[in-house]
Amino acid sequence: MPLVLASSSPRRRDLLARLGCVPDRIVSPAIDETPRRAEPPRVYALRLAVEKARAVDRAADEAVIAGDTTIALGRQILPPAETEAVQRDLLTRLSGRRHHALSAVCVIAADGTERTRLSDTIVAFRPLSPAEIDAYIACGEGLGKAGGYAIQGRAEAFVRFIHGSHSGVIGLPLTETRALLRAAGLPLA
């Protein structure tokens, strides 16, 4: 059964490869990712994963997988770091605190059945000095990322504690993703 990855993220493609799964097509869905008024972070992440999967045109024999990773500080959804100023604010707010990396996955099977899973990983950053934040921003790896950091890169040195799915923080929780793909009938080892 052909698989469509509804994401332009190279990290999601690489994480799928860890499961021995190579998408037959990759499509970047265009959806409005604005949080709704008073929308809880968990609901937001799941909604985006479903909307991304539904936004992709698929043939009758294709399955679609989409994901969303949302960083939440309490009930507040943190935006992606679209500018260095936003990234500095995000990292300052995350410094010395715990936050949730919510990674939602939606798989639409060839028969149209939608299945979702959500991984909730607690990540605690050690306190970061302004110089450390400036140096991290200068390296460029966290720009455009949820929460302003990439845990698979230099920001891993900021983490003093993680409870949950490391791959979920990167962008696709592998345990949950494997279960969804198998339930959709994709042959995985």
Known catalytic membership, residue 24 = no
Give me the catalytic one of 14, 24, 57, 68: 68
Q: How open is the CA angle 4-9-78, to the nearest 5 degrees?
A: 120
Closest listed residue to residue 149, CA positions, set 176, 124, 174: 124
Contacts (Cβ under 8 Å, ≥6 apart) of 128: 91, 92, 94, 95, 96, 136, 158
| Tokens standing for residue 3 | 């698989």
Euclidean distance between CA atoms 133 and 175, whole angstroms:
32
Q: How open is the CA angle 175-90-164, to the nearest 5 degrees?
A: 20
Looking at the annotation, which residues are catalytic?
68
